[in-house]
Amino acid sequence: MSENTLLLGNEAIALGAIHAGLGAAYAYPGTPSTELMEYLVERARESTEGGAGFKASWSANEKTAYEEALGAALVGRRSLVAMKHVGLNVAADPFMNSALLGLHAGLVLVVADDPGMHSSQNEQDSRFYADFAKIPCFEPMDHQECYDQAREAFELSERFGVPVMLRLVTRLAHSRGSFRLAAPARRDSAFRKPPKASSWILMPANAKRQWHEHLEKQKALQDYSERSPFNRYRAAGEGAGLAVITSGLATAHFEELEAEHKGSVSHLKIATYPLPEERIRELAAKHAVLYVLEEGYPLIERQLRGIIPGKTEIRGKLSGHLPLEGELTPDLVRAALGFRTLPSLQDRLQEPAIPGRPPQLCNGCPHADSYGFIKTALQPYGGVGSERVLVTADIGCYTLGALPPYSAVESCVCMGASIGMAKGAADSGFHPAVAVIGDSTFLHSGVSPLLDAIASGTRLTVVILDNETTAMTGGQPKLHETSRIRQLVLGLGADPAHVHEVQAHRKFAAENVALLARELEYPGVSVIIAVRECVETAVRGKAQVRATSAPAVGSGT
């Protein structure tokens, strides 16, 4: 197994996990992390012969995914859970507490950050979560490290009994590169429960002991980092030249450009956290100025202040040498280090601005038709966007309804927030308040706030846009049939007379407008489920049936 393989960064991690003897993997789709689980689901279907296969499943949300992975680890399986950066907010509860459990089977958390916000609502840096939970974190610079560190993360997790985070960023998750494979480890198929049962029962007496033990491990984790071959220190030759600390993808940008520097270079490449402090001090001892290149927030830059003498000048994001926002690029690194920029075809041109081309809903998208009836029904109240009408929305393709020509929704904060926020406004007496949420988002985080609204009899209208897939991330399979979303809503206690399923198609616009208009006047919770399959998955589904007549990708549940 030494051939070169060309894969996405996400896939390289997935393959590393398989070769580490993965037993179970769980995820909720979210850009830029999605392809990791897609790859595992695909490979799990191939590897079930002989019962030695692993389990790979999509979950309702990141919290349930994390807990499912934790349960697999509880019975001795090497487990992986993957999500995007904001997904870790959802999974933060099991994540923080899992640090204390004293794991006996490896648990690896893969988080894909999205600096630059290509497809996200913020650019939070997951390394802070690893620091917060005091667990180790790997930060790969390329595809080889994605593969190698995924394997090493399981080893480390079991050696120290802690979950290990693997943090990557959009441009690594979504780039293809080649790397070498090593021989796969054998999968351990025996169930093994924890040697000390009480370590998993975090009631105060046990939790205090576990927290103490976790703190005691910190020195050993630090030592691991000092000796890890993933961290590399290369000292300058004669004379104190340029001194640079890099991590993750910033290492790749720097190594690319390093040849452009004429003098000598001292370079410390960091790929593991907690930081290798001794190596940092070794570098700082020889240089008055240190550059720090890192993707995301200035985490290394901040921590350096507690590690090296105050007189050392640190140049990075806090000093203004690099921007605090957006993703790092080779050009930003050039500018920060004072390297020459390359001549460009653009230099001699004085071109008028090119009109932007923002993303938009596909032709024939059912959401467009749903926004049509929602806007018409709200017209008598002053219309969407007026002071007298509130339409909250959520996260998915339908967020594009905020843009012209729809301009139909007024919020996008986090998964499930549409219903809770509309309830908050309605509780204050605001009417009409309408929440628009997709089927996957509803199942992810919309059920609990709807329960709140039903319990308190809030005057609220919820429109669930059911396109029968998770469209934005590429059409992952639905967890529930449409009919079961209706049953779920009824099970929460909604009045059946005010729970409706309608066709999300413009040919039913008149009926849908009339229905919504009626429900807006109902002084309680109404739920309208607007159903029509995503046009993208419909086309793909037909093509798939034609090509193979194989069943659609199952969630493995």
Options 359, 380, 457, 491; binder of other proteins; rule CB under 8 A: 359
Cα 58 from Cα 70, distance rounded (Å)? 15
Options 195, 309, 358, 551; binder of other proteins; rule CB under 8 A: 358
Contacts of 73 (CB under 8 A, 6+ apart): 79, 103, 104, 105, 106, 107
Looking up tokens 């979303």 gives 485
x/- track of binding to other proteins for residues 537-556 (CB under 8 A): ----------x---------
**Residues forming a β-bridge with 165:** 109, 137
Options 190, 349, 497, 550; binder of other proteins; rule CB under 8 A: 349
Q: Which is nearer to other proteins, 397 or 433 (CB)?
A: 397
**Residues forming a β-bridge with 242:** 265
Cα 126 from Cα 89, distance rounded (Å)? 10
* Contact call for residues 298 and 325 (beta carbons, < 8 A): no
Q: Which is nearer to other proteins, 139 or 519 (CB)?
A: 139
Q: Write out the two tokens for 245.
A: 């600390």
x/- track of binding to other proteins for residues 167-196 (CB under 8 A): ----xx-xxxxx------------------
The footprint of other proteins on residues 280-339 (CB under 8 A) is 329-331, 334
Options 13, 34, 245, 419; binder of other proteins; rule CB under 8 A: 34
Number of residues that bind other proteins (CB under 8 A): 49
Looking up tokens 């993208």 gives 536
The closest alpha carbon to 194, from 72, 69, 65, belongs to: 72
The alpha carbon dihedral of 39, 42, 47, 51 has a sign of positive
Where does this chain touch other proteins (CB under 8 A) — which range of 156-164, 354-362, 492-500, 510-518? Answer: 354-362
Does the footprint of other proteins cover residue 393 (CB under 8 A)? no
Does the footprint of other proteins cover residue 356 (CB under 8 A)? yes
Least gap, CB of 400 to other proteins (angstroms): 7
Single-letter residue type at 462 = V
Cα 258 from Cα 246, distance rounded (Å)? 12
* CA distances in angstroms from 403 to 14, 394, 470, listed in the order given: 36, 14, 20
The footprint of other proteins on residues 127-156 (CB under 8 A) is 142
β-pairing, 525-531 vs 499-503, is parallel
Q: Which is nearer to other proteins, 261 or 334 (CB)?
A: 334
Options 17, 308, 472, 529; binder of other proteins; rule CB under 8 A: 472
Q: Which is nearer to other proteins, 341 or 483 (CB)?
A: 341
Cα 128 from Cα 301, distance rounded (Å)? 13
Q: Which is nearer to other proteins, 344 or 428 (CB)?
A: 344
Does the footprint of other proteins cover residue 31 (CB under 8 A)? yes
Q: Write out the two tokens for 552.
A: 């659609």
Cα 357 from Cα 137, distance rounded (Å)? 38
* Contact call for residues 73 and 105 (beta carbons, < 8 A): yes
The footprint of other proteins on residues 237-266 (CB under 8 A) is 249, 252-253, 255-256
Q: Which is nearer to other proteins, 15 or 69 (CB)?
A: 15
Where does this chain touch other proteins (CB under 8 A) — which range of 124-132, 264-272, 300-308, 470-478? Answer: 470-478
Where does this chain touch other proteins (CB under 8 A) — which range of 17-25, 132-140, 346-354, 515-523? Answer: 346-354
Options 360, 407, 544, 555; binder of other proteins; rule CB under 8 A: 360
Sheet hosting strand 289-293, strand order edge to edge = 232-234, 265-270, 242-247, 289-293, 313-315
Q: Which residues bind other proteins (CB under 8 A)?
A: 6, 31-32, 34-35, 118-119, 142, 171-172, 174-178, 249, 252-253, 255-256, 329-331, 334, 341-349, 351, 354-362, 397, 400, 472-474, 547
